[in-house]
Amino acid sequence: MTQTPALALTNVQFGWQSRGGFTLSCPSFEVAQGESVLLLGESGSGKSTLLSLICGIITARSGTVAVAGHDLGPLRAGQRDRFRAEQIGVIFQQFNLLPYASVADNIALPLRFAPSRRKRAGDIPATTTTLCRDLGLPEDAPHLKAGQLSVGQQQRVAVARALIGHPPLIVADEPTSALDAATQESFLKLMFNQARQSHASVLMVSHDARLATHFDSTIDLSDIVTTQRSAA
C-alpha cells in the first residue's frame, strides 16, 4: 500500500504582483513520510516563497500544495493558520522565541492554536520536560526565560517547539546558518533523533552543501523550482 507523502507539490504556479513581477513554478516535489530532505539554494532563489507556500502563509495561483494528504488550496486564511499549527512544526532561522516567556511556555506555544496537536502532546508539562532533557538542556530550563539562554540553547528550544505534539512535517529555515561546524553536527543529530521518535519528516532549506551527508536526500532548488523576475 502506497503511503501518502508528508508533502507533495504538483504543478504549482505562484506570482508576486507587488515584487516586480516575480513568478515561481514547481512542477513536482515530494517528501515521503519519515524522510529527511535538504533543499539547497542561494539567496534570491525562491526559498522563502516556496516555504511560505508549503506552510500555507501564501497560496498558489494554480496547482496543488498538499501536507499529509490535505490540499491547502481550498482553505481560507484562518483555516490555513490552524492547519499549519496542527500539522507543521517550523524552526525559524532566528528561532522567533518570546524572550520574556519561560522555555516551557515557548515550547507549548503552538499547542494554544492546535487542539488535536495539544491532545497528541499528552501531559504538556511532562512532555516539555522530556523534550528539554532529550535535547540536552539544563534541568531547570523549562522554568527559565528564553532570553536567559545561550544561542545554542535557544536553538534547541526552537526544535522542541517544532516537535511537540508530533506534527508530521518539520520545516527548518536555515537553522544552522550562524553555527560553527561542530555545533551544526550536534544540532542536526539532536533534531533527527527527535524527529525519528516523532515519526516526522524533515525538510530543511540551506545554502550549505556540506550538510548533505546528514540527510536522506539532497535537492538543488533550481532542479525543482523555476523563478523569473520581470525587468524593471
Query: Is the pLDDT score of 11 beyond 80?
Result: yes
2 is a domain residue: no
Query: Is the pLDDT score of 230 beyond 80?
Result: no
58-72 pLDDT tens trace? 999 999 999 999 999
More confident residue, 163 or 185: 163
80-116 pLDDT tens trace? 999 999 999 998 878 889 999 999 999 999 999 899 9
Assess contact for 61 and 16: CB atoms under 8 A.
no
Number of folded domains in the chain?
A: 1
12 is a domain residue: yes
The grid cell for 32 is 515521503
34-52 pLDDT tens trace? 999 999 988 778 888 899 9
196 is a domain residue: yes
Read out DSSP for 136-188? T--TTGGGSBGGGS-HHHHHHHHHHHHHTT--SEEEEESTTTTS-HHHHHHHH
1 is a domain residue: no
pLDDT of residue 20: 61
Tell me how far apart the alpha carbons of residues 130 and 22 are, in angstroms, rounded to a whole number: 44
- Letter for the amino acid at 223? D
pLDDT of residue 167: 92
CATH code, domain with 214:
3.40.50.300
Tell me how far apart the alpha carbons of residues 232 and 222 are, in angstroms, rounded to a whole number: 23
pLDDT of residue 17: 67
- Domain membership of residue 201 as a residue range: 7-228
pLDDT of residue 151: 85
Read out DSSP for 62-121? EEEEEETTEESTTS-HHHHHHHHHHHEEEE-TT----TTSBHHHHHHGGGGG-HHHHHHH
Q: Which segment of 74-88, 158-172, 173-187 scores lowest on mean pLDDT?
A: 173-187
Across the chain, mean pLDDT equals 89
205 is a domain residue: yes
Displacement of CA 184 from its chain's centroid (Å) = 17
* Share above pLDDT 70 across residues of the chain, in percent, rounded to a whole number: 96
- Letter for the amino acid at 79? Q
